[in-house]
Chains A and B, each alone.
Chain A
Amino acid sequence: DVKVTQSSRYLVKRTGEKVFLECVQDMDHENMFWYRQDPGLGLRLIYFSYDVKMKEKGDIPEGYSVSREKKERFSLILESASTNQTSMYLCASGTPGTQGTGELFFGEGSRLTVL
């Protein structure tokens, strides 16, 4: 089974703190993604990566950065956490499908609360 593991399920941080969310996948997938999930807003793409050391901005990259030093690991960084970044963060991975289709595999999510 494909496994996408997010290191922290629940985090509580203070405003201004630096936050690292780690994600590891075990299926040698090229593509990795970070989404943010908020009620009524669905899934919003923060950043994605097609290859090691490669990153692309998604729809809501402001306030976030990412790192992909190894193929299996994709990290999301909040340089200075703010209360409006309180949310559920989902990591996903997948292989390039035929003509852009294909299945995404998600981790169980990291629920971040910023006080």
Chain B
Amino acid sequence: QQQVKQSPQSLIVQKGGISIINCAYENTAFDYFPWYQQFPGKGPALLIAIRPDVSEKKEGRFTISFNKSAKQFSLHIMDSQPGDSATYFCAASIADSNYQLIWGAGTKLIIKP
């Protein structure tokens, strides 16, 4: 019940295309869903996050879509660029867990020029 399942494990997208990474969870008490981006040789960095009171959050080319009934959330990268090539992690936590994030396994995204 504490797992966050992330797919796909790896993804290759042509430049200009849409990259989509999906995550699913079981624990309905989760109410904070961040995405972190990790470039090679660097630590992860917060990209975008959503709470379940909204179904979508957009920041530039990055959008989180959230489906509470299906217990799924996804990251969409529009007009994908080679600079977006990185590993992406979804995560979830419960409001009072004080940072005890449950992490997905990660998706290695490669954008082909």
**Contact surface of A with B, Cβ cutoff 8 Å:** 4, 31, 33, 40-45, 48, 50, 90, 92, 94, 96-97, 99-109
Contacts and interface: CB of A to CB of B under 8 A. Distances in A.
B105 A50 contact: no
Contacts of B57: none
Contact of B89 (A31, A43, A48, A50): A43
Contacts of B18: none
A108 B41 contact: yes
Contact of B43 (A31, A48, A90, A100): A90
A48 B96 CA distance: 15
Interface string B91-109: 0011111111101111000
Chain B contact patch, size range: 20 to 34
Contact of B103 (A42, A99, A100, A106): A42
Contacts of B36: 104
Contact of A96 (B32, B42, B98, B104): B98
A31 B103 contact: no
B9 interface: yes
B46 interface: yes
- Which of B36, B45, B103 has the most C-beta atoms of chain A within 10 angstroms of its own C-beta? B103
A50 B100 contact: no
Contacts of A43: 44, 89, 103
Contacts of A101: 32, 49, 51, 93, 95
Contacts of B34: 103
Contacts of B96: 99-100
A4 B97 CA distance: 22
Contacts of B106: 40, 42
B98 A104 contact: no
